[in-house]
């Protein structure tokens, strides 16, 4: 069983827990310890999982990821008014080979998916995204992946998999389960024009850092449609993470990245949330812990709603020169969707149009005869 490869949470973390107040997360998380073994997963909603594999790092790591430092910062935070049960499954150490580590990650994440438990993966390097993506094999046919990243990570042709090229492997490897890929926060000077062209050619979605920083709420509909989120902390500006040679002066601020984590948590589709490429500094550990807290906060406010199954929706029909766009607005959450007629909805197994999450601005733009670009891409993709 893959769970046999899990290493318990370090004793120093559990010793730190003893000193925490009863309202803290540390007192309310069921942890994998040397003494008690793995926690019971029967009632769990969220599982923490550390992955220390770093041999495929693009910039070689000089030290191992200190997951315990992140745990200590996370455990000391106060629990919200939550009803979800969190388990900490411990860590996956480096296997005999990188492929061995990938296999263990894939098997453990697949086991959690089958139990409807959402893993929060704390990974040393972002190529672990590939192993987590393969966990969906045989569980879900087509998935949407969202990366919060300053780079697209396609890499060069024939390049071996690394933290800068794992996306190429996801796109080309069989079975191909990827339906859509979206990038939030890319910075143009880090990406070759060929990569931008590839994003366009495959009808993938990308949002520049400046666009997102101007209105962070634009991230919500993108994340609402995601099954898996991969967050590279190098998308965060260096000063927020305590300065490092591998981080850029430009990037998301602490509050912005926490808002993104909360949007990921609120999405009732997100089944895997991974945070990668962290630094071993106190400030980094604190920020990662707070991002995790916001993800869990969002998770506890999840609402399953759909214009096809709920009645509390307003429907808006917008005539256009070429297409008639149909928008739906939830009266409960004020979230918006637009119908995309070219895609057969996999959720209803019927010929009803697929629903693409969108913003009120998309609706207003459509009223002014400007069809949202994301709608066009989704529409075209349905015919390919």
Question: What distance in Å separates the CA atoms of residue 124 and residue 149, rounded to the nearest whole number?
Answer: 15
What integer pLDDT is reported at residue 347 of this predicted model?
Answer: 44
Q: Residue 260: which region, alpha, beta or left (left: phi > 0; alpha: psi -120 to 50)?
A: alpha
Same domain, 347 and 282: no
Question: What distance in Å separates the CA atoms of residue 209 and residue 211, rounded to the nearest whole number?
Answer: 5
Q: Give the tens place of pLDDT for each residue, 355-368.
A: 899 999 999 999 99
| Cβ contact 377:343 at 8 Å | no
- The more confidently predicted of residues 346 and 45 is 45
SS3 6: strand
Q: Which of 303, 301, 299 lies closest to 312, judged by CA?
A: 303
| Cβ contact 90:6 at 8 Å | yes
Q: Is the pLDDT of residue 11 over 70?
A: yes
Q: Is the pLDDT of residue 149 over 80?
A: yes
Residue 207 CB partners (closer than 8 Å, separation 6+): 182, 183, 184, 185, 186, 218, 219, 222
Same domain, 196 and 102: yes
User: Which of these three, 271, 299, 327, is where a domain ends?
Assistant: 299
pTM, 2 dp: 0.93
Q: Which helix or strand (DSSP H or E) is residue 13 part of?
A: helix 11-18
Question: What distance in Å separates the CA atoms of residue 301 and residue 305, rounded to the nearest whole number?
Answer: 12
Angle between the 254-266 and 282-299 helix axes, to the nearest 10 degrees?
A: 30
Q: Give the tens place of pLDDT for each residue, 123-148.
A: 999 999 999 999 999 898 889 999 99
Q: Is the pLDDT of residue 348 over 50?
A: no
Question: What distance in Å separates the CA atoms of residue 315 and residue 340, rounded to the nearest whole number?
Answer: 14
Same domain, 256 and 157: yes
In a domain? residue 44: yes
Q: Is the pLDDT of residue 344 over 70?
A: no
Q: Give the tens place of pLDDT for each residue, 82-122.
A: 999 999 999 999 888 889 999 999 999 999 999 999 999 99
- The more confidently predicted of residues 378 and 72 is 72
Same domain, 74 and 223: yes
Of the pLDDT bands very low, low, confident and very high (cuts 50, 70, 90), residue 1 is: low
Same domain, 40 and 125: yes
User: Which of these three, 276, 299, 322, is where a domain ends?
Assistant: 299
Question: What distance in Å separates the CA atoms of residue 29 and residue 36, rounded to the nearest whole number?
Answer: 13
Question: What distance in Å separates the CA atoms of residue 265 and residue 291, rounded to the nearest whole number?
Answer: 10
In a domain? residue 319: yes
Residue 256 CB partners (closer than 8 Å, separation 6+): 212, 213, 216
> How high does pLDDT run on average in the chain?
90
Q: Between vectors from CA 271 to CA 83 and to CA 92, what angle results, nearest 5°?
A: 95
Of the pLDDT bands very low, low, confident and very high (cuts 50, 70, 90), residue 16 is: very high
In a domain? residue 251: yes
Same domain, 282 and 321: no
User: Which of these three, 299, 322, 350, is where a domain ends?
Assistant: 299
End-to-end distance of the chain based on CA atoms, in angstroms?
Answer: 39
Domain span including residue 35: 2-299
Q: Give the tens place of pLDDT for each residue, 20-75.
A: 999 999 999 999 999 999 999 999 999 999 999 878 777 677 788 999 999 999 99
Same domain, 294 and 322: no
Same domain, 39 and 70: yes
- The more confidently predicted of residues 243 and 28 is 28
Domain tally, the chain: 2
Q: Which of 181, 106, 111 lies closest to 143, judged by CA?
A: 181
154: domain CATH number? 3.40.800.10
């Amino acid at each position: 069983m893959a769970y046999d490869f899990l290493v318990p949470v370090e004793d120093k973390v559990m010793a730190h827990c003893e000193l925490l107040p009863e309202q803290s997360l540390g007192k309310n998380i069921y942890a994998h310890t040397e003494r008690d073994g793995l926690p019971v997963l029967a009632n769990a909603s969220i599982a923490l999982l550390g992955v220390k594999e770093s041999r495929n790092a693009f910039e070689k790591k000089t030290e191992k990821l200190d997951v315990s430092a992140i745990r200590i910062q996370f455990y000391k935070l106060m629990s919200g008014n939550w009803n979800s049960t969190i388990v900490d499954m411990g860590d996956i150490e480096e296997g005999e080979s990188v492929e061995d580590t990938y296999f263990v990650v894939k098997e453990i994440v697949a086991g959690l998916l089958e139990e409807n438990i959402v893993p929060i993966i704390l990974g040393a390097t972002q190529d672990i995204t590939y192993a987590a993506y393969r966990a969906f094999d045989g569980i879900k046919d087509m998935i949407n992946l969202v990366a919060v990243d300053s780079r697209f990570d396609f890499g060069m042709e024939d390049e071996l998999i690394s933290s800068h090229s794992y996306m190429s492997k996801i796109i080309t490897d069989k079975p191909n389960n990827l339906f859509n890929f979206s990038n939030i926060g890319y910075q143009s000077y880090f990406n070759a024009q060929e990569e931008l062209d590839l994003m366009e050619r495959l009808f993938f979605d990308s949002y520049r850092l400046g666009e997102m920083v101007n209105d962070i709420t634009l991230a919500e509909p993108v994340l609402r449609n995601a099954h898996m989120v991969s967050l590279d902390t190098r998308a965060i500006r260096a000063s927020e993470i305590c300065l490092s040679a591998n981080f850029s002066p430009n990037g998301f601020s602490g509050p912005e990245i926490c808002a993104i984590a909360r949007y990921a948590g609120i999405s009732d589709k997100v089944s895997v949330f991974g945070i990668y490429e962290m630094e071993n500094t106190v400030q980094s550990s604190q920020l990662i812990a707070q991002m995790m807290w916001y993800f869990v906060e969002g998770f506890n406010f999840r609402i399953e709603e759909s214009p096809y199954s709920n009645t509390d929706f307003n429907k808006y029909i917008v005539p256009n020169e070429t297409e008639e766009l149909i928008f739906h607005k939830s009266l409960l959450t004020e979230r918006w969707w637009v119908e995309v007629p070219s895609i057969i909805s996999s959720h209803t197994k019927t010929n009803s149009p697929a629903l693409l999450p969108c913003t009120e601005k998309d609706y207003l733009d459509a009223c002014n005869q400007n069809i949202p670009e994301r709608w066009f891409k989704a529409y075209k993709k349905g015919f390919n």
